Structure 1
Amino acid sequence: MNKLISAALAALFSAGSAVAAPLCGELGFAGLLAKCNRGEPIEITLGSGKPLGKGAIALQSGAYYEMRVTADGSAELALTGAQFFRAIWMNEIVINGIEVRPMAIDSLEFDEAGTATLSFIAIKPGSYEVKIPNTTSDSQKVAISIQ
C-alpha cells in the first residue's frame, strides 16, 4: 500500500516542471515521510478574540508537515478549510493520543481546551486559507500557499 501511494505521488511530482521537489533527494525506505522531508511545524491557536497564527504560511509541495491546532477553551470554536484539506494528503490526526486516519475533513471543532495534531503531505500548489467559520477579521484566518 505504501509503495502504491509513493508511486502515485512520484508520478504526480514528475507530471510537470512547475511542481516543487521534496525537501531531500534520497528519500530512502520511509519515502515522503522521511525525516529529511519534513517542514517546520505549523502552530494554530483557537481562542476567543485571539489571532489564529503569526502570518501567512508557505508550504512546499511534496513535503511532510505537522499542524498543531490548540484551543484554549475560551469558547467553542472550529477551524474550517475544506479547499486546503483537499489539497493535501492527510496522514493522520492525533487527538488525546488517539490516531485517526481520515480520507478527508472539512473542519475541526473544539468544545473545550485541547490539541489536535494533523500530519500531512502538501500536494496541490495554490493559495488556500483556514479560518474560524462565520468570522470576517483577517486575524481569524491564516493564508496558506503550497508552492
Structure 2
Amino acid sequence: MKKLLCAAAVAMMSSPVVAAPLCDDLGFAGLLAACNRGETIELTLASGQPLGEDVTLESGAYYKLQITADGSAELAIEGASFFRAIWMNEIVINSIEIRPMAIDSIEFDKAGVVELSFIAIKPGRHVVRIPGSTGDAQSVTFSIQ
C-alpha cells in the first residue's frame, strides 16, 4: 500500500500543473459564477481563412464562444459531438437570447456575430468544422479535460 501511495505522489508531482478556472467557493451562482469562467474563445468564418486555433477546456468550467462571420461567403459550422459534450446556457444573436436544448450547426448568410455561453461537460476531443471542408485550417478541435 505504501508503494502505491508513493507512486501516486510521484506521478502527481511529475505531471504539469494546469491552472483551472474553477473556483473554490462557487456561491449562489454555482457553475455560472464569475470565478468559474474561462477566457472567451473566438472563431472567424471567412472565405479561405482559417477558422481558429485548437482549444483546451476544463470540464465543469464556464466559457463563451464568439463566432464572427465577415460576410465574404455563406458559411456554417457544424460539430454535433462538441455541441452534445457541453451544457449550453444560451446563444445570443443580435441581442436576442436563445436557450436551446441542442444544436447541430450554425449558418451565416451574411456578416454577423453569434455568442454561445456554455459549461464544458464531457471529456474528449470534439471537432467543429465548416461543412464539406477537408482542410485542417477549416476545423477547430476542442479538447475537454
Q: TM-score, normalization: structure 2?
A: 0.85
Q: Which residue in 1 is equivalent to 2:71?
A: 73
- Return the offset for 1:85: 0.2
**Matching residue's letter, 2:111:** A
- Return the offset for 1:56: 1.3
Q: Which residue in 1 is equivalent to 2:4?
A: none
Q: Which residue in 2 is equivalent to 1:120?
A: 118
After the TM superposition, which residues 108-147 of structure 1 pair with which residues of structure 2 at under 5 Å, given as runs?
108-147=106-145
Q: Which residue in 1 is equivalent to 2:38?
A: 39
**Matching residue's letter, 1:76:** E
* 1:96-145 Cα shifts (integer Å, max 9, x gaps): 00000000000000000000000000000000110000000000000110
**Equivalent pair of 2:21/2:38 in contact (CA under 8 Å):** no
State the alpha-carbon separation in 2 of the partners of residues 85 and 125 from structure 1: 12
- In structure 1, the residue corresponding to 2:59 is in which secondary structure? coil
Unpaired stretches in structure 1, ≥5 consecutive residues = 1-20
**Equivalent pair of 1:88/1:123 in contact (CA under 8 Å):** yes
State the alpha-carbon separation in 2 of the partners of residues 133 and 119 from structure 1: 22
State the alpha-carbon separation in 1 of the partners of residues 27 and 101 from structure 2: 25
State the alpha-carbon separation in 2 of the partners of residues 44 and 33 from structure 1: 22
After the TM superposition, which residues 12-91 of structure 1 pair with which residues of structure 2 at under 5 Å, given as runs?
23-53=22-52, 55-91=53-89
- Return the offset for 1:22: 6.4
Q: TM-score, normalization: structure 1?
A: 0.84
State the alpha-carbon separation in 1 of the partners of residues 130 and 88 from structure 2: 20
Q: Aligned pairs, how many?
A: 126
**Equivalent pair of 2:21/2:35 in contact (CA under 8 Å):** no
Structure 1 window deviating more from structure 2 (134-143 vs 22-31): it is 22-31
**Equivalent pair of 1:22/1:62 in contact (CA under 8 Å):** no
Cα RMSD between the aligned structures? 1.0
- In structure 2, the residue corresponding to 1:32 is in which secondary structure? helix
- In structure 1, the residue corresponding to 2:49 is in which secondary structure? coil
Structure 1's consecutive aligned runs of 4 or more residues displaced over 4 angstroms after TM superposition are: none
- In structure 2, the residue corresponding to 1:92 is in which secondary structure? strand
Unpaired stretches in structure 2, ≥5 consecutive residues = 1-19
Structure label with greater radius of gyration? 2
